[in-house]
Structure 1
Amino acid sequence: MKLSHLPTRAPEDLDKEKTKDQTLTLLSYLQEKQDILYAQQQYSLLIVLQGLDASGKDGLVKKVFSGVNPMGCQVKAFKAPTEEELSHDFLWRIHKYTPAKGMIQIFNRSHYEDVLVPRVEGWVKPAVIKRSYGYINSFEQLLQDSNTLILKFFLNVSEDKQRERIQERITDPNKHWKYDPGDMLVVKKRDDYLEAYQDVVEECSPDIPWTIVPADQNWYKEYVVAKKIVDTLDTLDLRYPDKLKK
């Protein structure tokens, strides 16, 4: 399964308006399920969003989680490590943001950045990256053993759409704040990043497979992610507590 060969758009025969209606139904159902998850405090859900620059991670979070109870949902966007964070192991800054029971935690970028950027930029040796895959798998297994469900999404955006969205950050005044002069430099390294992601998908999914999301069309991207979340929550024995608190 080569990421570069996978679709970035919805199937051609898919009805856009019907799919958008289905997404609204899924989001309503997600709100109900999240309410029970928060009340029961038996399980937690960690959602990992990864993708190339301009794959639409921010917009996805805003749309899919717009109606959930803020008391039961948190978002953490991981940027470049601080000096303090660099003085610890790479998972140190991640672990303290994992979700408590009853919570949904969204990682907008995540611990996977530490096996992507350093590799592409040549900051660390390949052997270090290889060992880090094992640490990540053990870390995620630990979370699973603590009743944390993990969903990992790679937003697969085409090069044309990626360039178009980055250009919008220059031409659209409402998106100027998103622009980074290094954006186009990253686009030039697109193939290197896809190769790094390819290894991540293969090496870091023994029990938690990645969902590869076509990301060129926001309406389809939102549907795929919302459906996966709802389907996963449906596998849990979610129910409101039937005992009064003492």
Structure 2
Amino acid sequence: IVITRKVILIIECKNLYGNITVNNQGDFTRTIQFGKRYHKEGIYSPITQNQRHLDMIKEKRRNTKGLLTKAIFEHYFDDTYKSVVVLANPKTIIDMKYAPKDIKSKIVKVDGLNSYIKRLNDESRNENMSDKQMKELADFFLQSSIPNTTDYTAKYQLEVNEEKTVTVKEEPIQNTYFDSIENSPVYKALKDYRYKQSVKEKIKPYFIFNNAQLEEIIKTNPQTLEELKSIKGFGDAKCLKYGKDILMILEDY
């Protein structure tokens, strides 16, 4: 959250990789080149994700208003609170040629963020907030921030122990398309899948599989669930839950 004199920015920062295309429906698609092959996949819209943040903030702030000021607040909310998606990866290429104007206006590369904020302030018709008003608003957001104290380790203690104790012997990987496992598209695809699943299930990514297991998946390249089970940490339950998705990703590469 960035509080300026005239507008309040809700910034969703994304370290996206690959070539990103936004179509005329506002859908996001990523294309990754692997040698002479191209892999295309849909990705979650960061615009939609940030809209949820705006909705939550609107609800929190609305509850602090009286009946009259609540109506005024709701009327001018979109003029004051601005959603912006910042692309942090300088190598990201994004094609918004056919994207709706409303989406184009909410996406900016990291090196253009300062000028973007300045332009929003210059174009805003809102009155300047005082230092006192800005601080009161900042204090409200800080006080509303509640840390998540849920202890997930009790349920996943076995995986946590494995994460701390497992060691993998590093071996050079020979491949004409990438210089290391971490730089390979399949590594990034598996890591992206792990992240999305962790968000969906509200758990830590390494509960699904840790980095050592991720590398082992790529090195062994299992073709069946039985072969996947040979990797330490992948029992029947985990293979049943994630196995088919992992095998499909491997098949793509």
TM-score by length of 1: 0.27
RCO higher in 1 or 2 (8 Å CA, sep ≥ 6)?
1
TM-score by length of 2: 0.27
Report the structure number with the largest CA radius of gyration.
2
